[in-house]
Every structure is written in structure tokens, then in C-alpha cells.
Amino acid sequence: MNYKLTAGVVAIVFAAGFFAGRQADVAAQGQRVLEIRTYVTPDKTGLDNLVTRMRSEAKIFDRLGMKSVLYSTATEAPQSDNTFVYILSHESREKAKENWSAFGKDAEWAELRKKSAPTGQIQITSQFVTPTDFSPAK
């Protein structure tokens, strides 16, 4: 991951803490975690197809208890041609595992996946983070 993309992800995480309405006291937040997912497609067409599919996936995430925090595309080349980043909020790390398991078994997702096969292989990375005690409050 290059410097600009790393700096961008750090900025997104900081913003996510603010927009997710994090309380200043981490202990009061329980085990809530944010999941930062980065998708790299082979080309611009793959990115466009992914963005279209994510519009529908976002509704499924919300239905299954994964709170959508942010959906974004990179702004600087070359990542602007193939990089999509989104952040989900889960009640806990364990709940995230359960959420993804339910997502994989979801009939609506299975149908969407059939209709929107990606163009080429998508590289997916996922990172879980928790807000610090000095994260911006609501």
C-alpha cells in the first residue's frame, strides 16, 4: 500500500470515528468495531461494476445488522481507476463474524452475486479497528 493510499485510509478511519457517532469513553462503547474493507479491481470497468453492485449490497448489510458508515472511491491516480473503500460498524468482532456468515448465506446476496459477476479478480483486504478514548464524540 503506498503512502497516499495509507494516508487516505487513516483519514477515513478518523472521519469514521466522527461520523459513526463514537462516544469519548471507549469502555462505554462495549466491543463495537469498525471494519475497513478495500477492494481493488483490475480496471475502471470493474470498479464501475463494483460501485453499482455495492448500492444493492449496502441495503443487505443494513438489513443484516452491519451499519454502513462510509462508501468511497479513491480520488488520486492510479487508485482512482480501481480502488473502492467502505467502512462497516459491527456490535463486536464476534458479531462481525456472524454478520458475514449470514451475508454469505443470504438469498438476496446469492441472487445479486449471480447477476453481477465481477470483471476479473478483485483483491479484498479487511481491517478491524476500534475508536480510541480521544475519538471525536457525536
For the chain, the structural domain boundaries read 3-129
Q: What distance in Å separates the CA atoms of residue 17 and residue 23, rounded to the nearest whole number?
A: 9
User: In DSSP terms, which residues pair with 116 in a beta bridge?
Assistant: none
The angle formed by the CA atoms of residues 99, 124 and 90, to the nearest 5 degrees, is: 25
> For the residues 93-100, what does the mean pLDDT come to?
94
Would you state the pLDDT for residue 83? 96
Least confident of 30-34, 40-44, 96-100, 115-119: 115-119
The mean of the pLDDT values for the chain is: 81
Cβ-count burial of 65 within 10 angstroms (0-12 exposed, 13-18 middle, 19+ buried)? middle
Q: What residue has cell string 451499519?
A: 67
pTM for the whole structure: 0.74
Q: What distance in Å separates the CA atoms of residue 122 and residue 51, rounded to the nearest whole number?
A: 13
34 pLDDT band, cuts 50/70/90, is very high
Would you state the pLDDT for residue 21? 43
pLDDT at 6 over 50: no
The third-level CATH classification (topology) of the domain covering 3-129 is Alpha-Beta Plaits (3.30.70)
pLDDT at 136 over 80: no
> For the residues 79-88, what does the mean pLDDT come to?
95
Q: What distance in Å separates the CA atoms of residue 22 and residue 12, rounded to the nearest whole number?
A: 14
Higher pLDDT, 58 or 113: 58
Cis amide linkage into residue 42, ω under 30° from 0 = no
Would you state the pLDDT for residue 22? 39
Collapsed DSSP state (helix, strand, coil) of residue 24: coil
